[in-house]
């Protein structure tokens, strides 16, 4: 199945996932027009020690969990054509797109010294059934792209314990309740006391990332958690 999928990806013409334009040889992820128009989210202070009031990601979760560092690359909105980028990597089998976006995001974060003293990348998991249906976990593909740039290992320390309704169909409070207690961590001795970066595709309320961080810290209170969603979709 996966070989067939790889061959199909190679043979099909490469199209921009946002506007559908045919990509030229030098255009890698998006066409040049969409790459220029990509709605960026620029985080200036990535560390909790710096002026973290500027950092909406840390501010969104700091009443729930101790997170040291956070950054993102894109501003996500349902009514922007760029939401097709997220849809493509989530629902259309665009594994290679996720890896490329991970690479891109990791390179941007290098300029902010985000990777300093980081030990590993930890993808937010899907349910086993969802991963089976999709054939991959988009957060893990993003993390693999980040790993290619940083040389950091990707370690799956988390798992989803219950099947609940997909987050994308839920809003606000319901989304926060949905994420409670559905992640469990299994942290071998070699990964204890480490600085770990949680990787996900989109952060909205921060409940998923906060619950993943809590699951890790429940098992290893000395774990230092950083968060890196590809896109931020919450209120500013
Ligand atoms: Zn385009």
Q: Where are the domains of the chain?
A: 1-37, 39-232
Higher-confidence position of 211 and 11: 211
pLDDT score for 41: 87
**CB 193, CB 223: distance < 8 Å:** yes
CB 171 within 8 A of CB 235: no
Residue 218: strand, helix, or coil: helix
Please identify every residue whose CB atom is under 5 Å from ligand 1, which is an ion.
16, 18-19, 21, 31, 34
User: Which residues, at least 6 apart from 47, have a Cβ–Cβ distance to it below 8 Å?
Assistant: 68, 69
Q: Is pTM, for the whole model, over 0.85?
A: yes
CA of residue 63 to ligand 1 center, whole Å: 39
22 C-alpha vs ligand 1 centroid, how far in Å?
8
First vs last C-alpha separation in the chain: 42
Q: Rounded to the nearest whole angstrom, what is the distance from the C-alpha of residue 39 to the centroid of ligand 1?
A: 13
Q: In the chain, what percentage of residues exceed pLDDT 90?
A: 53
Task: Report the pLDDT value the prediction gives residue 172, as an integer from 0 to 100.
Answer: 59
At 89-136, the pLDDT tens digits run 887 667 888 999 999 999 999 998 999 999 999 999 998 888 888 889
Question: What is the model's pLDDT at position 10?
Answer: 61
Tell me the CA–centroid distance for residue 97 and ligand 1, in Å.
13
Q: Please state which CATH number belongs to domain 39-232.
A: 3.40.50
Q: Per-residue pLDDT tens for 40-85?
A: 888 888 888 777 778 999 999 988 899 999 999 999 988 888 989 9
Q: How far is the CA of 82 from the centre of ligand 1 (A)?
A: 9
pLDDT digits (tens, 9 = 90+) for 6-37: 565 566 678 899 999 998 888 888 899 998 99
Query: Angle at CA 64, nearest 5°, toward 58 and 68?
Result: 40
């Amino acid at each position: 199945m996966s070989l067939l999928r790889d061959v199909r990806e190679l043979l099909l013409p490469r199209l921009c996932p946002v506007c559908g334009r045919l990509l030229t040889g030098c255009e890698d992820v998006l066409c040049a027009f969409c790459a220029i128009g990509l709605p960026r989210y620029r985080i200036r202070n990535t560390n909790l020690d710096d002026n973290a009031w500027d950092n909406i990601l840390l501010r969104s979760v700091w009443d729930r969990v101790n997170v040291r560092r956070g950054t993102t690359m894109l501003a996500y909105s349902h009514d922007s054509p760029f939401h097709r980028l997220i849809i493509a990597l989530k629902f259309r089998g665009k594994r290679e797109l996720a890896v490329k976006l991970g690479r891109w995001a990791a390179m941007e974060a290098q300029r902010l010294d985000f990777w300093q003293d980081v030990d590993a990348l930890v993808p937010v998991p899907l349910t086993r059934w969802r991963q089976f249906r999709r054939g991959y976990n988009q957060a893990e593909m993003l993390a693999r792209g980040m790993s290619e740039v940083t040389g950091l290992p990707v370690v799956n320390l988390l798992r989803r314990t219950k099947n609940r309704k997909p987050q994308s169909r839920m809003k606000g409070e319901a989304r926060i309740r949905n994420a409670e207690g559905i992640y469990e961590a299994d942290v071998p001795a070699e990964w204890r006391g480490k600085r770990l970066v949680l990787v996900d595709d989109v952060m909205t309320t921060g409940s998923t990332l906060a619950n993943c961080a809590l699951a890790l810290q429940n098992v290893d209170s000395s774990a230092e958690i950083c968060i890196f969603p590809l896109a931020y979709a919450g209120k500013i």
